[in-house]
Every structure is written in structure tokens, then in C-alpha cells.
Amino acid sequence: MAVEINAKACIGCGICVDTCPVQALSLVDGVSVVDPKQCVDCGACVKVCPTNAITLDKPLAAQKKQPATPAEPAVKKAAPAAEGDYQGVWVFVEQMEGEAAPVSWELMGEGRKLADKLGVELAGVILGAQVEHLVPEAFAYGADKVYIIDDPVLARYRTEPYLHGLVKLIRQYRPEIVLMGATTLGRDLSGTVATELRTGLTADCTVLDINPETRLLEQTRPAFGGNIMATILCRTRRPQMATVRPRVMAMPPRQEGRSGQVIREELGLKEEEIQTKVLEYITAGAAGVYLDKAEIIVAGGRGVGAKNWPLLEELARVLGGTVGASRAAVEAGWASPAQQVGQTGYTVRPKVYFAVGISGAIQHLVGMQTSDTIVAINNDANAPIFKIADYGIVGDAAQILPALVENFKQQLA
């Protein structure tokens, strides 16, 4: 067998499974497994694996073109003249109330790989008020340089001043690549920035790579309803912009003691010049915590039913968790699209994931199978969800949910 998978390095993201053109890969217990009878040794999985967990014991034709040592910059060819003065990879460090969104550091790890392949610097870009403490964090997660605009006008996120600040920095320092998290904030800001700069933006990428010949950013994402993986290029405009959903890329290790150049700029925009005002700031309770940040998720599927859905919400409330849903539950109108977990919803990695009345379709599993602990409740003992569950309860959700609520209420009282 030519393809080998290092089970310890595999994070069970499923990207290789989606990429394999001959369906030779599958996820078993959260780890990729190859069927040697199906595998044609094409190496597509090797290329997309974000943790280098897959190897091919014979050289790929494509690999022969690449440099022998990964330590060397993989791309030596000069950039086309029109793009030549755009250089460097930037990661927008999203923060709220001074707390960085973890996706920023996940992207820093990915940005580091891209910058090393291009042989350029990786920079973190921080916008906010009283956010100086994030500078050493950006270095610890891999930045060589940090651009920062610290201004009271940026205290709470509003599109206008953040657009102004980020566009100002990009126009002045001209990065070739800008990466942002596909969060609510990131989706809003990336679209407006790309529009203002008249450049291309690929949203929700699952794989990012550099083409060694052209130096172009290869931005891969599911397309046509998730039925194919499309690799998208931004050939003629700069910067090349991409967003990536939280938890899709692995969190890089912190490296204490790293430092670099800090470039401080002024926002150059006064409060009076901004049309939107924040009148009130209401923080959501635990049930409203964004799915990608939740530590406990109680997710329901078609098997829960409209009548029992409040029981599911009650269990989430008692546990201080967040309610998630399968697409079937969202389509039934019991949950909002913002609560959908899976291929076309959120990718989550909570400490505990309850899957109640969810069958375990692959499109759901790819969004939650890396959760630390999975508890499945289903009245069908053969439901596929039990294959990846750490704890399984076979039974009717209508009976099990109230029993769990009562039990946890007593234990947590």
C-alpha cells in the first residue's frame, strides 16, 4: 500500500475523505482510514492534509517539481511585475472586548505555512481600543510583524471604522494575501474590504496552499452545495483575500519569547464622521454563545420533534450550553441556520457534544466529530452516530431528555 496515515497526526477533519476522487478514504473513530483496494495512489489526500498526517511511499509526479527541503522557501520564481510590490501574508486578528477570537491564531498557524512557502513575512493586523496586549500574543502564535491601530473609535465593532482602518493599512503596506476568520464579524468586514479594494475574496476555505509556479494562493472550498471541492484563484487583483471558518485549521502551538517589528498607525477617523452609533451592548447568555466557541453543545435532529424541542433547550440551559441542530431540524424550522452544525453549517469542537435524535449523516459528522466527548441519544441502536459516540443512550428522546434535565438539575444544584 502506498498511502499511509499517521493516526496520531490525523485530526479527523475529513478533508482527505472529501478530496479523494475514488472514495478510498473514510473516517473511522475520528481517524482517516484508507482502503488499499480502492486507492489509486494519486496523492490528492497527501496534498490537502492540513497536518501532514498522510504520506505516499512513492514520489508523486507533482512532488518531484517541488524543492527537496521544506526549510527552503518553496517558491523562488519572482512575482509577476504587476503584483511585485505586494508582499507578505497578513492575518486579521479579530477581537471583541480585547479578547482575540481563537480563529485568528488558527489562521496565524496557516499563514505561517503560506509565508514560509513564499519566503515572505507573516504579519498580524490588530484593530481595536486598548488592544496592545494582543501584540505579544500575535508574535507567540507565529507573526514576524504586527500592524496595530489602537483607537477608542474602534472600541466596539462597526463596519465603517474597521473598513477604514484595514483598507488604510492594506493600501499603505500592500500585502499579497489577507486571511480572516469566517465569523460574523469576519464575514462582514472581509466582504466590504474586498469590495472597497476591488479584489477577490474566497469565503469559507477549507484548504489554502501556494502554487509553486505562479505564487498564487490556491483557495479550496466546497462548491455547488458541497458536492465538489473547488480551488479558486485570484489572478489579477491584490491582495488575495480568503476567510476560513473557526476550528477548520489546527491551533498552532504558542512559542513564548518570539518578538518582531511593531508598526503603529493612526485611524484618522473621528467619531463624528461615523454614521452608525452603538446605543447599547447586550451580551448573550450561555445559550446564545456562538456555536464555534461553545464548550457544551446540545444538538437536536429530526428525531427530537417540534414538541420535544423545548426539552432540548432546557437541557442546554441547565448545563450552561448552547443549542445546535442538524440541517433537518433547521429545515423543520425548530432552529435557526446559525445553529446548524455540519458541512454547510458550523464546524464545532466543544468539550461535550450531545447529539439527540440525529442519525449521523456524514455531512453532520464533519462538523462535530472532533468534539472531545460525544453523547448520542437515539431510538435506533444501529444509527451511524453511535459509531463515533463516546457514550450512547438508546431510547426515546421524549423520555430521556426530561430524565437528563432532572438529573443534572440535582447534580448541579
Which residue ranges make up the site for ligand FAD (CB under 6 A)? 225-227, 301-303, 326-329, 340-345, 357-359, 361, 363-364, 367, 377-380, 383, 396-398
DSSP string, 253-294: PP-TT---EEEE------GGG-S----------GGGS-GGG-
Minimum separation from the CB atom of position 334 to ligand FAD (A):
10
Minimum separation from the CB atom of position 255 to ligand FAD (A):
35
Alpha-carbon gap, residue 204 to 222, rounded angstroms: 8
C-alpha cell at 181: 476568520
| Of 224 and 281, CB closest to ligand FAD | 224
Alpha-carbon gap, residue 162 to 224, rounded angstroms: 32
Minimum separation from the CB atom of position 279 to ligand FAD (A):
35
| Of 141 and 309, CB closest to ligand FAD | 309
What backbone torsions phi and psi does residue 218 show, to the nearest 5 degrees? -90, 115
Minimum separation from the CB atom of position 344 to ligand FAD (A):
4
Extended beta strands in 308-367, E state:
322-325, 352-356
Q: Counting Cβ atoms within 10 Å, is residue 75 exposed (0-12), middle (13-18) or buried (19+)?
A: buried
Minimum separation from the CB atom of position 350 to ligand FAD (A):
16
| Of 33 and 361, CB closest to ligand FAD | 361
Residues 74 and 63: beta-carbon distance below 8 Å: no
| Of 126 and 356, CB closest to ligand FAD | 356
Per-residue b/e over 35-66, b at no fewer than 16 CB within 10 Å?
A: eeeebeebbbbbbbbbeebbebeeebeeeeee
Q: Counting Cβ atoms within 10 Å, is residue 87 exposed (0-12), middle (13-18) or buried (19+)?
A: middle
Residues 242 and 200: beta-carbon distance below 8 Å: no
| Of 189 and 248, CB closest to ligand FAD | 248
| Of 243 and 359, CB closest to ligand FAD | 359
Strand 217-223 relative to strand 322-325, pairing: unpaired
| Of 100 and 203, CB closest to ligand FAD | 203
Tell me which residue of 43, 74, 71 sits closest to 59, measured CA to CA.
43
Minimum separation from the CB atom of position 342 to ligand FAD (A):
2
| Of 129 and 362, CB closest to ligand FAD | 362
Minimum separation from the CB atom of position 99 to ligand FAD (A):
28
Minimum separation from the CB atom of position 165 to ligand FAD (A):
34
Neighbours of 4 (CB within 10 A): 12
